[in-house]
Each structure stands twice: as C-alpha cells, then as structure tokens.
Amino acid sequence: MSRSFAAHKPLADQAIVVFGASSGIGRVTALRAAARGAHVLAVGRDEAALDSLVAEAAPGRVVPATAEASDPAEVQGVADLAVATFGRLDTWAHVAGVAEYARFDDTTAEEFRRVVEVDRLGPVWGAKASLPYLRSGGGGAYVVVSSEVAKRGFPLASSYSAAKHGVDGFVEALRVELQKEEAPVSVTQIMPAAVDTPFFEHARTRLGVRPSGPPPVYSPEKVADAILRAAEHGGRDVAVGSAAKAQLALQRLSPRLVDAASRVAAFRLQRSDEPKDAGDDALFESPDGDDRVHGVVSNLHR
C-alpha cells in the first residue's frame, strides 16, 4: 500500500518552478501551467528562448530565470527567487537534461561527467533547494522527469542511462524518508518513452548521425500533462506512453529477453539518416533561441 501525507493545491492556486523550460517538455509544461492559472518561474539556459516563452504565455503568469542545473548555488537561487517572487513554492518540476549518444569506449570522461552532473545531480540540487520551502509552505510536489532508461539502460546511451538510474535510486530513498517524517510532499518520477522534442538535436553524438528515439515517439504535451497531474495529485513512478510501459514490464519479466531485443534493434533505431558531427550540440553550451516544443523526431521523420 502506498503511504503519502502530501498536500496539493489546485493548479490555479500554485506557484511552480519548471526547471528546463526553454524548449520541449519543459516549455509546454510552463505554457500549460500558466494557461490554467498557475504562477510559473520558467528556468533554463537559453535566455532568448525564455523571453519568447514569456511573450507566448498567459499575460503576467510567467517569470523567466537563467540557471545551470549542475550548479547547486544557482539552483538554490532559483528556489529563493520563486519564493521571493510569488511568496510560496508549491511544485518543483525538474525537466532539464542533456545527453550523448555514443559507444561507451568513444565517450570521453568529461562528456560522461557532464551528463551525470546535469541529469543525476541536477534533480538532487533541485530537491535540496525546494524541499525546505515545500515543507514550510504546507506541502506540495517534487516532480522529476526521468526516462524509461531509469529502469532499463539503452546501448549507445550509457551516460544518460547511468544518470537516470541514479535519479531512480535517489527518488526512491527520498520518498520513503519523507513518508517516515510524514512530510506533506509527494515525490513523482515521470518516465517517458521517446518524445518528439529538440532533445535529440541538442544531444551530442559520436555516431556520425543525429540520434533518434526508438519508435513509437510521443508528444511532449502528453508528458506535460503527466507532470501537471503530479503537481495536483502526486504519484509515484509514472510511465508515459505504451512503449515505456511495455519496456518496463518486459524488463521485470525477463531482462535477458530485453538484452536480446536491444542487440537486434536498439543500435539501428537510435540512429537517424541525417549526418551530424560531435560538438554541434548543447551538451556544454546553451542553444541560442531554440524555443521549439517539437523537434524533428517522429514516427515518420527519423
């Protein structure tokens, strides 16, 4: 039986941090939260994209802020800014992430470290910064967008898989600690399958081509809706997309069978036909003005 003491407000009464709001899932989450009446602190690295988000959102509902997810001081500054601006913090939605697609042997130590610092430690710093405010404000939700690879690693994405496995272990431990103290805060991990966002275009690649998500590919709006449901109602581990649900079920049933399927299909399905060089990405540097919600990865355009 799940045990939770979390307290959640209707979205229209919430102040929400969306960390990773420049494009993709985070951007559409911020837009939909604002449209439903929430006050949103939209955080990212791309200042131009955040400015366009403010212009696109419901008037007066979105405040932009730039911060680096791997820097605990900057992440703490985001939480402090949210409370200084809105007087409270009700949901922390951590969406920011980077990736590299390469064989492990071709991944440099610096690249592996960068993915882990952003994708594993970023959510840790988000929890460290937000939990005191969530507790003292009467409760709320800590939501982190992870991935289906949190439970089953993919070849050619060893650094990303390692980081997301770390998030899975972290939120499991954190959730039980909060339950033990009867804290009014829910901890939800959102685990999508492949999503049609600029994520794959921003990822570093050593495959010689743009990486791609294995089909079927889902809309970022579907993931945003899962995040906002968690903001209002909590939840535990939420798989988004039938492919993610099937992958996780098969992993529980037979990891060896998933090994075999990955050897046959995963290498091919994570490669597009579009040439791309390593370094043409957002692993270390922010994109400049890329404010798209959708990318080029779909079931028809791979």
Give per-residue pLDDT as tens, 71-90.
999 999 999 999 999 999 99
In contact, 153 and 161? CB cutoff 8 Å:
yes
Arithmetic mean of pLDDT, 88-105: 98
Residue 299 has pLDDT above 80, yes or no: no
pLDDT tens-digit map of 110-134: 999 999 999 999 999 999 999 999 9
Share of the chain above pLDDT 70, in %: 97
DSSP 218: B
* pLDDT band at residue 12 under the 50/70/90 scheme: very high
Q: Write down the pLDDT at residue 302.
A: 44
pTM of the entire predicted model: 0.95
Q: Write down the pLDDT at residue 297.
A: 85
Token representation of residue 131: 């939990």
- The catalytic residue positions are 160
pLDDT tens-digit map of 243-267: 999 999 999 999 999 899 999 999 9
Q: Write down the pLDDT at residue 18.
A: 98
Residue 143 has pLDDT above 50, yes or no: yes
Lowest-confidence segment of 85-99, 222-236, 272-286 by average pLDDT: 272-286
Residue 1 has pLDDT above 80, yes or no: no
Residue 185 has pLDDT above 80, yes or no: yes
* pLDDT band at residue 196 under the 50/70/90 scheme: very high
Query: What sign does the CA torsion over 43, 191, 222, 276 have?
Result: positive
Distance CA 89, CA 131 (A): 9
Residue 208 has pLDDT above 60, yes or no: yes
pLDDT tens-digit map of 28-59: 999 999 999 999 999 999 999 999 999 999 99
* pLDDT band at residue 7 under the 50/70/90 scheme: confident
**Other residues' Cβ atoms within 10 Å of the Cβ of residue 103:** 12
* pLDDT band at residue 3 under the 50/70/90 scheme: low
**Spelled out in words, what is the top-level CATH class assigned to the domain 11-275?**
alpha beta
Considering the chain, what is the average pLDDT of its residues?
Answer: 95
3 state DSSP class of 75: helix
In contact, 111 and 160? CB cutoff 8 Å:
no
Which residues, other chains included, contact 4 with Cβ-Cβ below 8 Å and sequence gap of 6+?
179, 186, 234
Distance CA 104, CA 229 (A): 36
* pLDDT band at residue 181 under the 50/70/90 scheme: very high
Q: Write down the pLDDT at residue 169.
A: 98
